[in-house]
Amino acid sequence: MSKILVTGGCGYIGSHTLVDLIDNGFEVVSIDNLINASENILDGVKAITGKTVQNYHIDLCDKAATRAVFQAHPDIAGIIHFAALKYVGESVEQPLRYFRNNLDSLLNILECMLEFGVKNIIFSSSCSVYGNATELPVTESTPFQNAESPYARTKQMGEHILQDFCFQEKNTNAVILRYFNPAGAHESTLIGEAATAATNLVPVITETAAGKRASMTVFGADYPTRDGSCVRDYIHVMDLANAHTKAIQYLLANRQESNCETFNLGIGEGVTVLEAIKAFEEVASQKLNYVIGPRRAGDVIAIYANNNRATARLGWLAKRGISDIMRTAWEWEQKR
Ligand code: WQD
């Protein structure tokens, strides 16, 4: 049973990936500093899988503490590196904190991989590396435009660090996964998106529907899109989780074309904000209280994925659409 070290394992995508890895026969261990997460989510992971997952409550920017985890687990077959600060707006206000945290943690992980002979890493990247893409759908070779935020910039820089590291270290194998818009919750509603101050569309919708917000604002309906609101590629978090399992299996089976490969993880369909709201209203059988407001700074007009490489190389297929996202997100919200 191969052991996978999951950084950010108590986070939203990390916890759902723990479930999918365990369901597929992997042993897992987590590192999470709990700055944006709680270890309580591991109770949900145990309720779903029956497995108790150990979390090391340490900061990956602390090199000594990070080394100690690698020393305690000489049998790590691969790393999935989720841990990062990820709020776009916060990154604009605190750029140095974001560069320090997101880059130092990656550099410490890579140095430990060299020291302890860990060969495989999956890096959590984001469609925000594309900026305002010049072509749609974006493929993995669509050139980066200017990053819209320091957060997106840390993902662009993280990818370049990995590419240069893998060019030098031929025994290291890396997969870079560019997430589009993750949303939804595990079918059991035993785990879901954490209850921090939501800024992403889907949790804002469900909090509004649950009466936790008086209303929500659609940030702009005057864009050059089919209904004037922005287009995104919403991917169910369990489909995203399974892509990580498929990527680890791809690395462990040595099926790579090169030792640093990139894959888009979106479902390949664009959905507008107003269409997402309509999908929610149909699933919840209730009207959502929203107003149309001004555009939000930093928003790209439209982005969605060409995900053919992930299907062709990883054998990954998204099984869920926007209605599944809204149904599971709503069930999770009502249970919270
Ligand atoms: C989606 C659409 C908003 C809230 C960000 C990061 C990306 C990834 C996912 C980390 C936009 C609109 C939203 C609201 C709205 N994060 N919206 N009213 O900005 O596409 O992506 O989160 O990896 O890297 O950039 O996601 O959910 O914030 O916005 O109208 O109250 O919903 O304008 O068009 P985004 P989002």
For residue 285, being part of any structural domain is answered with: no
Q: How far apart are the C-alpha atoms of 299 and 294, rounded to whole Å? A: 11
Residue 195: per-residue pLDDT: 65
Report the phi/psi class of residue 215: left, alpha or beta, with left for phi > 0 and alpha for psi in -120 to 50.
beta
Q: Which atom of ligand 1 is nearest to the CA of 127?
A: 24
Tell me which residue of 140, 290, 279, 324 sits closest to 218, measured CA to CA. 290
Residue 297: per-residue pLDDT: 85
Q: How far is the CA of 297 from the centre of ligand 1 (A)?
A: 11
User: Does ligand 1 have an atom closer than 6 angstroms to the CB of 153?
Assistant: no
Residue 194: per-residue pLDDT: 79
CATH of the domain at 135: 3.40.50.720
Low-confidence residues of the chain: pLDDT under 70: 195-196
For residue 331, being part of any structural domain is answered with: no
Q: How far apart are the C-alpha atoms of 19 and 106, rounded to whole Å? A: 24
Choosing from 56, 151, 250, 304, which is the catalytic residue? 151
Residues 6+ apart with CB under 8 A from 43: none
For residue 162, being part of any structural domain is answered with: yes
Q: Is 87 a catalytic residue?
A: no
For residue 219, being part of any structural domain is answered with: no
Residue of the CA atom closest to atom 11 of ligand 1: 230
Residue 298: per-residue pLDDT: 81
User: Does ligand 1 have an atom closer than 6 angstroms to the CB of 99?
Assistant: no
For residue 325, being part of any structural domain is answered with: no
Residue of the CA atom closest to atom 14 of ligand 1: 201
- Host domain of residue 9: 3-183+235-266
For residue 170, being part of any structural domain is answered with: yes
Residue 1: per-residue pLDDT: 87
Tell me which residue of 196, 197, 217 sits closest to 205, measured CA to CA. 217
User: Does ligand 1 have an atom closer than 6 angstroms to the CB of 217?
Assistant: yes
Handedness of CA 242, 179, 51, 253 (dihedral sign): positive
Q: For residue 141, count other CB atoms closer than 10 A to its CB.
A: 8
* CB-based burial label for 312 (10 Å; 0-12, 13-18, 19+): exposed
Pairing assessment for the beta strands 27-31 and 3-7 based on DSSP bridges: parallel
Report the phi/psi class of residue 77: left, alpha or beta, with left for phi > 0 and alpha for psi in -120 to 50.
alpha
pTM passes above 0.85: yes
Question: What pLDDT, in 10s, does the model give residues 23-32?
Answer: 999 999 999 9
Phi (first) and psi of residue 128, to 5 degrees: -70, -10
For residue 28, being part of any structural domain is answered with: yes
Q: How far is the CA of 26 from the centre of ligand 1 (A)?
A: 32
Q: How far is the CA of 189 from the centre of ligand 1 (A)?
A: 23
Helix or strand (DSSP H, E) at 160: helix 150-168
Q: How far apart are the C-alpha atoms of 17 and 24, rounded to whole Å? A: 11
Q: How many domains does the chain have?
A: 1
User: Does ligand 1 have an atom closer than 6 angstroms to the CB of 200?
Assistant: yes
For residue 179, being part of any structural domain is answered with: yes
Q: Which atom of ligand 1 is nearest to the CA of 219?
A: 30
Residue of the CA atom closest to atom 9 of ligand 1: 181
